Amino acid sequence: MELSVNIDHIATLREARKELFPDPVYAAVEAELGGADGITVHLRGDRRHIKERDLELLRKVIKTELNLEMAATKEMAQIALKVKPDRITLVPESPGEVTTQGGLDLLNLKENLKPYIANLQENGIKVGLFLDPDPEQIKEAVRSGVQYIEINTNEFSKNPKSRDELIKIARVAKAARREGLTVHAGHGIDYKNIKGLLTLSEITSFSIGFAIIARAVFVGLRQAVNEMIGIIKGAR
């Protein structure tokens, strides 16, 4: 079971004052030294935090896996094919949202993502989809040709004692594995609520950002990552 650390909020802090620091590239190195298995960044259309400069430097500097979250647009595909991250997680974007509000609704998408995904894969990039815990979405994910899904854990994270939410995630995770998809999870996960998700053997990787960056304010990023690694890898 692995941990990919989302460092978007380091860039958010930088952009709050339009300074050159704190540098998300430096943060990525600290996260790796803390034991992170990968680094996640979301390059948004409005460039509110992560910039192309960050993405390009991260590709050159980090030693683990670079995961790029992005919308399925022509502009982002061009950037991705230039930088070539190890994997891409396609996510929805809405103007003005504080954070991603939900998973991609594959059932109601107007465009066919299959050729878009195939183009990225043909260039050596693994592709996944960020989805709500809905079994119907899994069927569409399989048709799209992706290699993995990331389950949106936001509702569970808000109500970690809710057995119903955990069951939803478990069912989707099992359905995805039966179809040959690798299963990741992320959104709203922290040092406490992750414990329920660690009972699901189908989940092989977590993407966690805000909780780790918030903890890092008090103990440093390297230790904050190491603490989360201890929880994740100590569970098995």
Q: Is 69 a catalytic residue?
A: yes
Which residue, chain included where needed, has tokens 């998973």? 103
Helix (H) or strand (E) holding 49: none
In three-state secondary structure terms, 134 is coil
Q: What are phi and psi of 67, to 5 degrees?
A: -110, 120
Nearest to 151 by CA among 126, 170, 125: 170
List the pLDDT tens digit at each of the 236 positions of the chain.
999 999 999 999 999 999 999 999 999 999 999 999 999 999 999 999 999 999 999 999 999 999 999 999 999 999 999 999 999 999 998 766 556 668 999 988 878 899 999 999 999 999 999 999 999 999 999 999 999 999 999 999 999 988 999 999 999 999 999 999 999 999 999 999 999 999 999 999 999 999 999 999 999 999 999 999 999 988 54
49 is in an annotated binding site: yes
Query: Are 186 and 150 a contacting pair, CB within 8 Å?
Result: yes
The conformation of residue 145, written as its DSSP 8-state character, comes to T
Query: Are 83 and 41 a contacting pair, CB within 8 Å?
Result: no
Domains identified in the chain and CATH numbers: 2-233 (3.20.20.70)
86 is in an annotated binding site: no
Q: Which of 30, 69, 150, 202 is catalytic?
A: 69
Q: Which of 165, 184, 187, 202 is catalytic?
A: 187
Q: Strand 182-186 to strand 148-152: parallel, antiparallel, or no bridges (unpaired)?
A: parallel
9 is in an annotated binding site: yes
pLDDT for 100: 65
| Residues 46-66: b if buried by 16+ CB within 10 A, e if exposed | eeebbbeebbebbeeebebbb
134 is in an annotated binding site: no
| Residues 153-176: b if buried by 16+ CB within 10 A, e if exposed | bbbbbeebeeeebbebbbebbbbb
pLDDT for 93: 83
Q: Which of 32, 42, 140, 202 is catalytic?
A: 42
17 is in an annotated binding site: yes
Q: Is 187 a catalytic residue?
A: yes
Amino acid at 179: E
* Structural tokens at position 222: 């390297």
